[in-house]
Amino acid sequence: MRNIKKPLQGEYPSYSHIYMDLMEDDGKVLEHLWQNFLEIKDCIQSLPKEKLTYRYAEDKWTIKEILVHLIDDERIFAYRALRYARNDSTPLHGFDQDEYAKFSDANSRSLESIFEEYEWVRKSTIALFEYLPEESFTRGGEGIDHDGSIINKRTVRGLAYHIAGHELRHFNIIKERYLN
């Protein structure tokens, strides 16, 4: 798979360091995306069914909701990467992750259906980044807050690393808060 250099500070919002810090600086973000998907799938499929809808605290997401959140987030950030890669610098609105989770109906879905969708999205994301022109990775754009103000700037490679680091952060949370 193609190597993509890790983004430099300034190619992603400051809060995203929590995702970037989890990623190695080896350029193998696409390989990490695939391997992490396989590791998460193996881990989650081995859990008892009741763990999949467990909440460690009130208003916290279940494992199924986290998985669907990862799918939603990946779709949105891959879409942003496509827009910026094609030199579309139109500022893009964010999304309310809690509202998305609330209306995902994740807990009524089978784990098999969630992982089927997750795999399709993951393969699509990898293909997107694999075949983008090299010069597109440093192109970027801006995000818009609810009040219309510009809140962050990201590059295409910053978005690739966001997707991978965001997934790792949630996987770490699952291991720390749901499996102990």
The 10s digit of each residue's pLDDT in 15-52 is: 899 999 999 999 999 999 999 999 999 999 999 999 99
Q: Which pLDDT score, from 0 to 100, does residue 170 have?
A: 98
Report which secondary-structure segment, H or E, holds 121: helix 111-131
E runs forming strands in 85-177? 92-93, 140-144, 150-155
pLDDT over threshold 80, residue 150 = no
The 10s digit of each residue's pLDDT in 51-110 is: 999 999 999 999 999 999 999 999 999 999 999 999 998 888 888 999 999 999 999 999
Nearest alpha carbon to residue 22 among 154, 134, 170, 145: 170
Q: Which pLDDT score, from 0 to 100, does residue 152 have?
A: 81
* 3-class secondary structure, 8: coil
- Tokens 């393969």 found at: 123
Burial of 162 (0-12, 13-18, 19+ CB in 10 A): buried
DSSP β-ladder status, 150-155 and 140-144 = antiparallel
Q: Which CATH superfamily is 19-178 part of? A: dinb family like domain (1.20.120.450)
Nearest alpha carbon to residue 111 among 14, 13, 42, 163: 42
Nearest alpha carbon to residue 66 among 129, 115, 32, 19: 115
